[in-house]
């Protein structure tokens, strides 16, 4: 593990006013890179994410989702509508390098903590906002939630097959992608500040993140108005790629096939019928027929049998793993993706497992064992360090 002093954002102070998932994850990513993150929450109840459980898992009064996305943070409780607490927050903002907030557009401004107001007292501040759909336009006031953003973006019409209804991605994709873009924007703004001394504002939305994710489809439509999304058979895995691109049932699981030449694939698999598709154009126009042939052929033998044949010829393929198979696989273990985080409780240490930051610096993985804070856990320490010292 790298020491705190070796991490690239060491010495950077982040005030995290956000809740739920996208904002807290963005702040978490900065913390993984060495930033000091102070989470600002309401005294009563705190971040609503403390009660938003995935998998129904709750530990020490908080959901697993909260524990994992708020690891390695300090907790400061403040009522942003209370005059005394607002004075404390104003003092903290004078010392901060970064602010992250994901209230609906206009809320922080009404509270007196919008970018224009904060930057007057701290011109070098990097102020990051995450919204559902930006601050202007007909969607601006709609609820910024992952499933809703996925749906408005059209993504569910890309996912699934021609026989399926719209099929959203089964994880909080918009939130997760937005958190990455936010952290990316903040680090770029910090680099600019290092060079020029200039602070700035970073704005990210769930919707823009989802649109960027679909750059292939949107680019095609912008250049050719006749483009339509035509989802393929149940085996097809991409609306814009021809056969054999997809996932196919075997006798004991599923096999993923990426790009490849159909006649050569037929020869490797012992499926002579594929040799008829010599023209690459047919891999698109006859996609349903080709995938049906492959499906019928592969289902009679196990995934391992087909992998042995395909890997020997360097064909792009992979088994489709279940969650249980993934976490038990030597490949997962060799990546050292799991890390333990610890929160002290009256009954003893609470240990939880989660994923680490998905990058390495100088060949070293980024891990930190500090668990998520309780509401206001570090108020006294933070007030003494940043607030009271200036008035005593």
- By annotation, the residues acting in catalysis are 175
Cβ 329 vs Cβ 321: under 8 Å: yes
SS3 (DSSP) at 247:
strand
- Total number of residues shown for the chain: 392
Rounded CA Rg of the chain: 25
Instruction: Give strand pairing partners of 248.
Output: 255
CA distance 59 to 347: 12
Contacts of 190 (CB under 8 A, 6+ apart): 9, 12, 97, 98, 126
Q: Could you tell me the maximum CA-CA distance found in the chain, to the nearest angstrom?
A: 86
CA distance 8 to 187: 10
Cβ 250 vs Cβ 298: under 8 Å: yes
CA distance 351 to 356: 15
Strand order from edge to edge, sheet including 36-41: 73-77, 36-41, 13-16, 98-101, 126-131, 200-205
Cβ 257 vs Cβ 270: under 8 Å: no
Instruction: Give strand pairing partners of 2.
Output: none
CA distance 222 to 162: 23
């Amino acid at each position: 593990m790298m020491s705190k002093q070796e991490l690239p954002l060491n010495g950077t102070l982040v005030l995290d006013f956000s809740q739920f998932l996208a904002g807290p994850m963005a702040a978490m990513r900065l913390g993984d890179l060495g930033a000091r993150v102070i989470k600002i929450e309401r005294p009563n109840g705190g971040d609503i994410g403390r009660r938003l459980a995935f998998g129904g898992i709750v530990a020490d009064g908080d959901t697993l989702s909260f524990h994992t996305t708020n690891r390695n943070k300090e907790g400061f409780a403040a009522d942003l509508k209370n005059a005394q607490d607002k004075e404390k927050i104003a003092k903290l903002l004078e010392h901060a390098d970064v602010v992250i907030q994901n209230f609906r557009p206009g809320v922080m401004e009404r509270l007196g903590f919008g970018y224009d107001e904060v930057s007057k007292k701290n011109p070098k501040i990097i102020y990051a906002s995450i919204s559902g759909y930006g601050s202007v336009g007909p969607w601006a006031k709609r609820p910024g939630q992952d499933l809703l953003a996925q749906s408005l973006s059209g993504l569910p019409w890309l996912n699934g097959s021609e026989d399926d209804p719209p099929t959203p991605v089964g994880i909080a994709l918009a939130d997760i992608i937005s958190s990455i873009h936010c952290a990316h924007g903040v680090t770029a703004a910090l680099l600019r500040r290092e060079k020029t001394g200039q602070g700035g504002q970073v704005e990210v939305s769930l919707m823009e993140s989802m649109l960027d994710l679909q750059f292939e489809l949107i680019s095609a439509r912008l250049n050719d108005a006749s483009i339509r999304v035509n989802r393929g058979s149940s085996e097809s895995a991409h609306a814009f790629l021809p056969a054999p691109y997809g996932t196919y049932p075997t006798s004991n699981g599923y096999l993923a096939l990426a790009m490849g030449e159909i006649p050569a694939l037929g020869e490797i698999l012992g499926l002579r019928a594929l040799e008829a598709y010599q023209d690459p154009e047919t891999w698109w126009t006859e996609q349903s027929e080709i995938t049906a042939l492959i499906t019928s052929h592969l289902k009679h033998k196990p995934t391992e049998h087909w992998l042995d044949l395909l890997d020997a010829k360097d064909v792009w393929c992979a088994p489709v793993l279940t969650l249980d198979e993934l976490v038990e696989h030597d490949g997962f273990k060799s990546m050292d993706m799991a890390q333990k985080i610890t929160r002290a409780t009256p009954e003893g240490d609470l240990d939880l497992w989660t994923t680490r930051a998905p990058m390495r610096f100088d060949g070293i993985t980024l891990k930190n064992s500090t668990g998520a804070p309780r509401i206001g856990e570090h108020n006294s320490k933070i007030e003494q360090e940043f607030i009271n010292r200036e008035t005593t």
